[in-house]
Amino acid sequence: MSEKPELTCRKCNIPFHYPLQRNWIGRNVLFFLPIRVFFCARCLISRQLWLTNTEYRKYKRVI
């Protein structure tokens, strides 16, 4: 079985450090949008990715 690729930050290209909860609006208003938030430890910024469950399954889980 081949290793799944890691989700990486588009700017610095290192794998994301950990997932974050979406903000209140994201969870309660835009919950139907397949947006996930991950924290990049190099940029020190949380990035929102448009990522459906199907897409996310192609990648290694960010823990």
Query: Applying CB under 5 A, which residues contact Zn ion?
Result: 9, 11-12, 40, 42-43
Instruction: Give dist(CA 53, CA 36) in Å, integer.
Output: 10
Instruction: Give dist(CA 34, CA 36) in Å, integer.
Output: 7
For residue 39, the surrounding DSSP H or E stretch is strand 35-40
| Closer Cβ to Zn ion, 30 or 43, answer by number | 43
Shortest distance, position 37 Cβ to Zn ion, whole Å: 13
Q: Minimal CB distance to Zn ion: which residue?
A: 9
Shortest distance, position 39 Cβ to Zn ion, whole Å: 9
